[in-house]
Chains A and B, each alone.
Chain A
């Protein structure tokens, strides 16, 4: 394998890795703020894509359609938290998981009713031939995916470090009860976290649709991969989560080169199970929250 071919795989891996990272950040944020594994996170990804297609079809320019889709998905995330989850905050994790599973079924199925069973596609943000870098073809859309991921991560970092809300979120992720005793409005933190998680998922869905198309059932697969990435990063630290996503994308892409395209999708699942079983605190090891 020559260098150009190798880097072609790396480019493909970083492309899907960025998408996994965005979805994984959604898992991390919700888990940090509420202790919930949100099984509906993949559906936010799906909603971002199909809503953008729908808004675009209404005649909105592409950037406006994208922003509208991300905002609408964020509202759906907030509504889901308020309607279905808020009153159940004290319930067992079992109940919360069931609610997010049910929510994911409903979102997915409603999307099929509203937007149809077929594949939907968006034009590329900036159409044109790929950029050729020393024999490695880089799609223009991939540049957009990376750019948007970087912007989202920087915004998130600013929110976490520089704002009062961000500090409240960090406090919640360290100890929910302590945060509440300190006078932090944990309900508001939970709601905002769901909104941001939904927006991140939707952004990923919007950015990648011109490359892969999307459809009502696109959420489940990306949900599992995003969760695998989040677990790889330890399900707590946003920076580790992003690295987890990129590593997973690279692993998948290189597995096609060195193993076989057949088992590409199994890589993330095996990573998920191995990390869960062997090192539940993730590769970059912050200790797991205990609750006895």
Chain B
């Protein structure tokens, strides 16, 4: 390590002098608002991150074509966390320190959102997460907001539906990632209250390719139904393994399996699977004539025209995330800073999105309730409202 190395160090560092972060003052004129997005575009959660990116692209283009916000466009800088918490954290650091973003949308996953938290808090940059772990808003941070219904809302709903159908002996299989662990905690806490007995409790790791052994154990416990709490693509393998083991019990799940990839991956084994989540999969559920119905059908039509496929719940989470930020930016009076944006987000009141009607408060950064939930059953390779 000689002078060459020293010269290298100095040379590489010189040019960046002065491009320090967080100076997004009003004097920049028509500079766009820079928003960061940390998504799982590859890895186990790629099925979440890709539609999320599509929805954000779609909405940003619409907003900018309409003249932007306060005459300034929105620019989104994407980072792929590859479904890896450490990469999500590094991406957040990069967006905050290097790109100087006003806010961060993301991450796709619960654990990945939590990983970004301390850096966002230290730097004072708000995060709008699209992940469904309760921990994101239960473990309250003034800088972290959430668009999907957390497990706190979905799990009691699904458990009650299971109990109502007379399936009171339930086996749980959950992943060991943030979403699964968070969900498992809620199942354990709410089973009794919902009138459900947990007869088996198995876990698996992201990336596992065969869950036959766990299911054999579950089969031996003879449950009335199996609850899958996972967000990765492993859920499809579980459904297939269950069928291969000749298990007759109905399968239940939540938002994590409300995706086309689950239906494609599980193929026939997906038929008859029930899941509780929001209304976007069958927009009639919003009730025709309501504002929410108008918002959802408009978004679905534009999404379909652009990408040739219907948006799923994850596209909906992303629509809400960018929409909430745009709405908050429009309400800021004076200098647009991360701090001002955070305050404006917290003052969100009755904004109608896809996941529901959002009203944030200094103690609630999710703002949704069980009323947004419906139960679907998968039939003929698509979702139908369960009756």
Residues of chain A having any CB pair with chain B under 8 Å: 1-2, 5, 8-9, 12, 16, 117-119, 121, 129-130, 132, 137, 139, 211-213, 218, 253, 256-257, 261-262, 264-265
Q: Mark B192-220, 1 if CB is under 8 A from A, else 0.
A: 00000000001111000110111011011
- Quick one: given A117-B43, A132-B246, are A212 and B213 in contact (CB under 8 Å)? no
Task: Say if the beta carbon of B233 comes within 8 Å of chain A.
Answer: yes
Chain B residues, Cβ within 8 Å of A118:
46
Interface size on B, residues (CB 8 A): 24
Q: Are B216 and A12 in contact (CB under 8 A)?
A: yes
Chain B residues, Cβ within 8 Å of A117:
42-43, 46
> Which of B202, B203, B244 sits near A137, CB closer than 8 Å?
B244
* Closest CB in chain A relative to B56 CB, distance in Å: 20
> CA–CA, A2 to B220, complex, Å?
9
Q: Are A257 and B217 in contact (CB under 8 A)?
A: yes
- Quick one: given A12-B212, A12-B213, A132-B246, are A261 and B204 in contact (CB under 8 Å)? yes
> CA–CA, A214 to B177, complex, Å?
21
* Centre residue among B42, B209, B233 by max chain A CB count within 10 A: B209
Per CB-CB distance, the 8 closest pairs between chain A and chain B, nearest first, are A212-B209, A256-B213, A8-B216, A117-B42, A137-B246, A5-B220, A137-B245, A139-B244
> CA–CA, A261 to B175, complex, Å?
11
Chain A residues, Cβ within 8 Å of B191:
none
> CA–CA, A253 to B210, complex, Å?
11
Minimum CB distance partner of B245 in chain A: A137
Q: Are A211 and B216 in contact (CB under 8 A)?
A: no
Q: Are B237 and A212 in contact (CB under 8 A)?
A: yes
Number of A-B contacts (CB under 8 A): 60
Instruction: Give me 24 A-to-B residue pairs in the complex whose CB atoms sit less than 8 angstroms apart, sorted by A's number.
Output: A5-B216, A5-B220, A8-B212, A8-B219, A9-B216, A16-B210, A117-B46, A119-B233, A119-B265, A121-B265, A130-B245, A130-B246, A132-B246, A137-B244, A137-B245, A137-B246, A212-B237, A256-B217, A257-B213, A257-B217, A261-B204, A262-B176, A264-B213, A265-B205
> CA–CA, A218 to B210, complex, Å?
13
> Which of B43, B203, B210 sits near A212, CB closer than 8 Å?
B210
Chain A residues, Cβ within 8 Å of B219:
5, 8
- Quick one: given A118-B46, A137-B244, are A211 and B202 in contact (CB under 8 Å)? no
> Which of A129, A211, A213, A253 sits near B213, CB closer than 8 Å?
A253
Minimum CB distance partner of B214 in chain A: A261
Minimum CB distance partner of A118 in chain B: B46
Minimum CB distance partner of A5 in chain B: B220
Chain A residues, Cβ within 8 Å of B212:
8, 12
> CA–CA, A261 to B237, complex, Å?
16
Given A212-B237, A261-B202, 16 more pairs with CB closer than 8 A: A5-B220, A8-B219, A9-B216, A118-B46, A129-B243, A130-B244, A137-B245, A137-B246, A211-B210, A212-B209, A257-B213, A261-B204, A261-B213, A261-B214, A262-B203, A264-B213
